[in-house]
Homo-oligomer: A and B are copies of this chain.
Amino acid sequence: MMIIMHPGATKQQVAHVIEHIEAHNLSAHVIEGVEQTVIGAVGESHTVSTDVFETLPGVQTVQRISQPYKLASRQFHPHDSVFPIDGFSVGGEEIAIIAGPCSVEGRTQLLEIAQAVREAGANALRGGAFKPRTSPYAFQGLGEEGLEYLAEARELTGMPVVAEIMAVSQVEIMVKYVDVMQIGARNMQNFNLLRAVGETRTPVLLKRGLSATVEELLMAAEYILSGGNTRVMLCERGIRTFETATRNTTDINAIPVLKSLTHLPVILDPSHSTGHAAYVSAIAKAAIAAGADGLIVEAHQDPAHAMSDGKQSLTPEAFAKMVSQVKSVAEAVGRRVAVPLAHRERG
């Protein structure tokens, strides 16, 4: 930790900072510059908050040198985390494609689209049973009924299922029904929820918040990991910027940045990150070209009549075309799209 003193800081103020540093069992190293003094605090500073020094008289700013996360860091875990999820694996050579409707709208709708995306090459099924909606007047999901349909779709297709968890009270039911629990963007810093899923052993798909930095995403993952749940995959889903031509701005830079900072698998959601079906395929290909480990994509058999997010949902035909193009790009960068479980079994 580096403590940068104000240009006019007195010797007493510097001495006072040094006392504080030593009181935290760290050692102090002073560099007197031409205009300003900088004091390094060396030792196990990981659990010491920068707040402790920022408020001392004469201090201008405090900069942490080492990363505030450990369990999520590649520094302490150099090799990629690869983990199997009932039929597919994430984080290794294979690209995982998770697809399905925004919301589970009914039994027929779900079973139909599940079969369609499996045929087109999906490895896992997504579908929301509890829906976070900006308006209290909008469709809020089918709840447990939706989870039952997801379980039935898994039976039918052999694909593991991914669904969003919105509250601590849903942990028990989610663990029972789904293979992967998704933490949505709006809940990325719902710390109680992060702790709760951290205590389960069900894999977690953690979406980046609309205005969360890459570091905050890794700190959110750290909450889950610190509970002992090691199977966390991170998901870039677009950030909020001034640009209104698309629903969000895909932060494609986050893919190589995350791959360098963490060992956890990183996937991208081109449906939310663009908000328009017309742009999904281009961004899906870009994600794989940039090094993403997978995709999560919204698909619906009849987007015009979807109860939510129809605008950004692909038809089964468009989805199949996207998978085919993604396969080519994956090969161009030395990877391959995972073969769905059901196909393997047949083969």
Task: Enumerate chain A interface residues (CB-CB to B < 8 A).
Answer: 2, 4, 7, 29, 31-36, 38, 40, 42-47, 49, 51-52, 54-57, 63, 65-66, 68, 75, 132-139, 166-169, 186-187, 189-192, 195, 209-211, 213-216, 219, 222-223, 226, 239-246, 249-257, 260, 273-274, 278-279, 282-283, 285-291, 303-311, 313, 325, 328-329, 331-333
Q: Which residues on B sit within 8 Å (CB–CB) of A134? A: 68, 189, 216, 219
Q: Which residues on B sit within 8 Å (CB–CB) of A43? A: 34
Apart from A186-B191, A241-B241: 19 A-B pairs, beta carbons within 8 A: A2-B2, A7-B66, A29-B31, A34-B42, A35-B75, A36-B65, A68-B134, A133-B191, A136-B195, A168-B169, A169-B169, A186-B190, A209-B211, A211-B211, A215-B245, A241-B242, A249-B249, A282-B289, A282-B290
Which chain B residue has the least Cβ–Cβ distance from A253? B246
Q: Contact at A31–B36, with CB atoms within 8 Å? A: no
Q: Contact at A55–B304, with CB atoms within 8 Å? A: yes
Q: How far is the CB of A72 from chain B (nearest CB, A)?
A: 11
Q: Which residues on B sit within 8 Å (CB–CB) of A289? A: 282, 285-286, 288-290, 329
Q: Which residues on B sit within 8 Å (CB–CB) of A285? A: 289-290, 333
Q: How far is the CB of A186 from chain B (nearest CB, A)?
A: 4
- Bound complex: CA of A51 vs CA of B192, how far in Å? 32
- Bound complex: CA of A209 vs CA of B209, how far in Å? 11
Q: Which residues on B sit within 8 Å (CB–CB) of A33? A: 40, 42, 65-66
**Residue of A34, A242, A286, A306 most packed against chain B (CB within 10 A):** A286
Q: How far is the CB of A57 from chain B (nearest CB, A)?
A: 7
